Chain A
Amino acid sequence: SAEGKYTIGISNTVQGNGWREEMVCAMKAQALASGEVAKLNIAHRNTDAAGQLEDIRNLISAKVNAIVVNPADPAGIKAGLEEATKAGIVVVAVDQAVTEPSAYIISNNQEQYAYLGAKWLFQQMGGKGEVFYMRGAAGASADSDRDKGFKKALAEFPDVKVAQEVFTGWQQDQAKQQMLSFLATGTPINGIWTSGIDNVIVDALVESQAPLVPIVGADNAGFVGQLSSVKDLVGAAVTNPGSIGGAGVTLALQILDGKKPAQQTVLVEPQLWENATEEGKAKLKAAADPSLSPEWPVSISIPDWTTYTKEQIVACKGPGE
Chain B
Amino acid sequence: MNHLLRRQGWVAGLFALLIALFIITKLIQPGYGSGDFGSLARAVLPYAFAVAAQTVVVIAGGIDLSVAAMMALTSVTAASMMNGASEEYALFVVPFVLAMGFVLGAVNGILIVVTRVPDIVVTLATLFVLQGAALLVLDAPGGAVAEWLKGLISGTVPIPGLPDAIDAWLPKALLVLIICLCIIWIPLRRSKLGLSIYAIGSSELAAFRSGVPVARTRIIAYALSGLFAAFGGLALTMSTGIGAPIPGPYLLASVAAVVLGGVALGGGKGGLLGPIVAVFVLRLVRTDLTLLAIDPNVTAIIEGAIMVAVVMFGAFITMRSRQS
Contacts and interface: CB of A to CB of B under 8 A. Distances in A.
B29 A24 contact: no
Given A45-B300, A53-B42, A61-B29, A76 B245 contact: no
Contact of A46 (B46, B249, B287): B249
A205 B291 CA distance: 48
Interface in A72-89: 72-79
Interface stretch (B52-60, B89-97, B136-144): B136-144
A75 B141 contact: yes
A59 interface: yes
A49 B239 CA distance: 9
B239 A44 contact: no
Interface stretch (B11-19, B31-39, B111-119, B184-192): B31-39
B290 A43 contact: yes
B239 A50 contact: yes
A143 B246 CA distance: 12
A78 B154 CA distance: 13
Interface in B27-76: 29, 31-32, 36, 39, 42-43, 46
A24 B297 CA distance: 11
B159 to A, nearest CB: 24
Contact of B291 (A46, A62, A139, A141): A62
Given A57-B42, A141-B140, A48 B246 contact: yes
A130 interface: no
Contacts of A143: 140
B265 interface: no
A138 B300 CA distance: 26
B248 A58 contact: no
B286 interface: yes
A138 B139 contact: yes
Nearest to A51: B248
A246 B109 CA distance: 50
A91 interface: no
Given A57-B39, A78-B241, A139-B245, A42 B139 contact: no
B300 to A, nearest CB: 7
B244 interface: yes
Nearest to A62: B291
A313 interface: no
Q: Give the contact-size bracket for chain A.
A: 35 or more
A164 interface: no
B4 interface: no
Contacts of A47: 248-249
A138 B283 contact: no
Contacts of B299: 44-45
A78 B240 CA distance: 7
A47 B297 CA distance: 14
A142 to B, nearest CB: 9
A149 to B, nearest CB: 14
B139 A139 contact: yes
Contacts of B240: 49-50, 53, 73, 75-77, 79
Given A57-B39, A141-B140, A48 B248 contact: yes
A54 interface: yes
Interface of B: 29, 31-32, 36, 39, 42-43, 46, 134-135, 138-142, 150, 154, 235-236, 239-242, 244-249, 283, 286-287, 290-291, 293, 295-297, 299-300
